Amino acid sequence: MERAMRNYFSSLRSGRINTYIIISKARPVQHTLQPSRQFFITSLPKHNTNYSYPRNLRSSFAMPLNVLIVGAGVAGPAFAMLLQKSDPSHRITVVERSPSLRTAGQQIDLKIQGPEILKRMGLFEAIKSHCVNETGVEILDSNGKQVTTFGVNPSGEKRITLTAEYEIMRGDAVKVLYEASLKQNEKLKELGKGGDLSYEFGKSITELMQSDGGVDVTFSDGHKKRYDLVVAADGQSSRTRRLAFGQEVSDAAFKSLGVHGAYYSIPRSEDEGELARAYSAPGRKLIMTRSSSPVTQVLLFTMSNGEKLRKSYKEPIENQKQAFEEIFRGSGWQTDRLLEGLKTCADFYAHEIGQIKMKQWSKGRVVLLGDAGYCPSPFTGMGTTGCLIGAYILAGELARHGNDVASALKTYEEIARPPIEEECQKLPFETMGALYPKSNLGVWLLRKAMWAVSKIEPLTYRPRGDNNKGWKVPEYPELNLGS
């Protein structure tokens, strides 16, 4: 019986239909085992050919999967932890091209479904303990005088403001998820329940070859290995996406918002408090600072000189810094101080801001997760939540479908696409141009408009009821999150 069941699961991976003779204590019975997942109990005198196990028990009969996750940011470790929780016998490898865990990065938001998923994972309190204390954002004029302020958006609500109730530095969030996944893995080993999760840094993939039932992967160190599933969690500029779908499809998925951004940190000054600051300058420029952490985060956004900046991204970091310095020089407020810090900062990052919109999220046994498949852009504040939604649904569907990877990937997209497209990728403004005036008059009008909104919005705001808080996170008993 055990041998027949092993052969059955093997046939599920390849999609073949096989016929076996199963010998039981009752009598020999010939069965054709189909991937419909019907099972036959042969130790009884009568056989119920219509019996199928409940969905939440299916994964217990599935053979373990050998899974490769590309990227150790937010989505990769979150998915690894969820998948291993569902079945500790899975073999999970996470590769990251950086030589160590990347703990740099700007402040990120946790909104709506994000906290709920973290609570189910048992990580919400750990994440919450690292949250920064940003109390809102103030709008400034060229002299640094406050024009108006916006407060904090409570979790699950949709207020007009920059600051969410739960704000955390990207590096802190990544570290919590990474360390929690390692702790879970060690605990499983101690209990003798598997625990085959590993991280490999300084490594990337160079080639993907798909065939029936698996993916052959070539790594940057020349080694090759076969996997049942490859999960691309390597960000907006995903190399895995390009290898799986092709350069043309990957490039077409990027939908530019016409904005270029640069991010870096400088020493915090004494006059900077817990309010973020935003300053618009003529020439389609926006400068922001956030000082709720030990350093001041600087964010430079512009809708001008697109071609110049796009060209600089292919050049050394110093050339990119120079390009942004030339654009923002003489813009007023504290730009002299901010640009001086730009020259010596060690965490500079710049890119063209856009969204990733793929017509399909998987191809064969390669699936996209997080920003690699559906980056919403920093302007929605829903990137981290989108990563958590994707990781939770993908792990849940794989647990529910067992070895039927194709069906799991299909339902993952069917379930996750609506909240991703309708909530995570929904931009707060139809056109970004309204936030980037070209003239002095335009900047003056923008500040007046923001002042008016800040006064009117609190008077018209009504809290969202429990039945009006967007997409509901589904239940997956198969993930064993309560154990």
At residue 288, does pLDDT exceed 60? yes
What per-residue confidence (pLDDT) applies to 466? 58
- Give the three-state DSSP class for 101: coil
Strands 107-110 and 295-302: unpaired
Ranking 214-223, 236-245, 259-268, 460-469 by mean pLDDT, the lowest is: 460-469
Q: What is the mean pLDDT of the chain?
A: 87
Distance of alpha carbon 58 from the chain centroid: 27
pLDDT (average), residues 132-152: 94
pLDDT higher at 52 or 109 = 109
**For residue range 340-380, what is the model confidence (pLDDT) as tens digits?**
999 999 999 999 999 999 999 999 999 999 999 999 999 99
- At 28 the pLDDT is 40
What pLDDT sits at residue 56?
44
C-alpha span between 328 and 309 (Å, rounded): 12
Q: Which residue has the higher pLDDT, 432 or 42?
A: 432
Q: Which of 38-47, 68-77, 294-303 has the lowest mean pLDDT?
A: 38-47
Q: Which two tokens stand for residue 166?
A: 């739960």
User: Which amino acid would we find at residue 428?
Assistant: P
- When pLDDT is averaged across residues 140-158 and rounded to a whole number, the result is 89
pLDDT tens digits for range 383-441? 999 999 999 999 999 999 988 999 999 999 999 999 999 999 998 776 788 899 999 99
DSSP state of 234: S
Q: Which of 16-20, 147-151, 205-209, 427-431 has the lowest mean pLDDT?
A: 16-20
Q: Which residues pair with 216 in a beta bridge?
A: 209, 226
What is the arithmetic mean of pLDDT over 21-48? Answer: 36
| Per-residue pLDDT at 469 | 64
Give, in order, the Cα–Cα distances in Å from 79 to each of 233, 369, 441: 9, 9, 49
286: enclosing H helix or E strand: strand 285-290
Q: And the tokens for 475?
A: 């239940």
For the chain, percent of residues with pLDDT exceeding 70: 86
Residues in the chain: 483
Q: What is the pLDDT of residue 432?
A: 84
Q: Which amino acid is at 80?
A: A
> At residue 284, does pLDDT exceed 50?
yes
- Residue-level pLDDT at 27: 38
Report the DSSP beta bridge partners of residue 15: none
Q: Supply the pLDDT for residue 213.
A: 83
Q: Is the pLDDT of residue 248 over 50?
A: yes
Residue 170 above 70 pLDDT?
Answer: yes
Could you tell me the CA-to-CA distances from 264 to 301, 321, 343, 346, 416 in Å, in that order? 12, 10, 10, 8, 32
Measured in degrees and rounded to the nearest 5, phi and psi for residue 224 equal -125, 145
Question: Could you tell me the pLDDT band of residue 31, with boundaries at 50, 70 and 90?
Answer: very low
Cβ neighbours for 323, distance < 8 A, ≥ 6 positions apart: 305, 308, 309, 312
Query: Band of the pLDDT at 336, cuts 50, 70, 90?
Result: very high
Q: What is the pLDDT of residue 330?
A: 96
Inter-residue contact 473 to 117 (CB < 8 Å): yes
Cα separation of 256 and 81, whole Å?
33
Name the residue with higher pLDDT: 112 or 390. 390
The whole-number pLDDT of residue 42 equals 33
Question: pTM for the whole thing?
Answer: 0.85
How confident is the model over 436-457, as pLDDT tens digits?
999 999 999 999 999 999 999 8
Judged by average pLDDT, the poorest of 9-13, 409-413, 473-477 is 9-13
CA 59, 61, 64, 68: dihedral to nearest 10 degrees? -30
Tokens coding 58: 């299916």
CA 460 to chain centroid, in Å, comes to: 33
Q: What is the pLDDT of residue 47?
A: 34
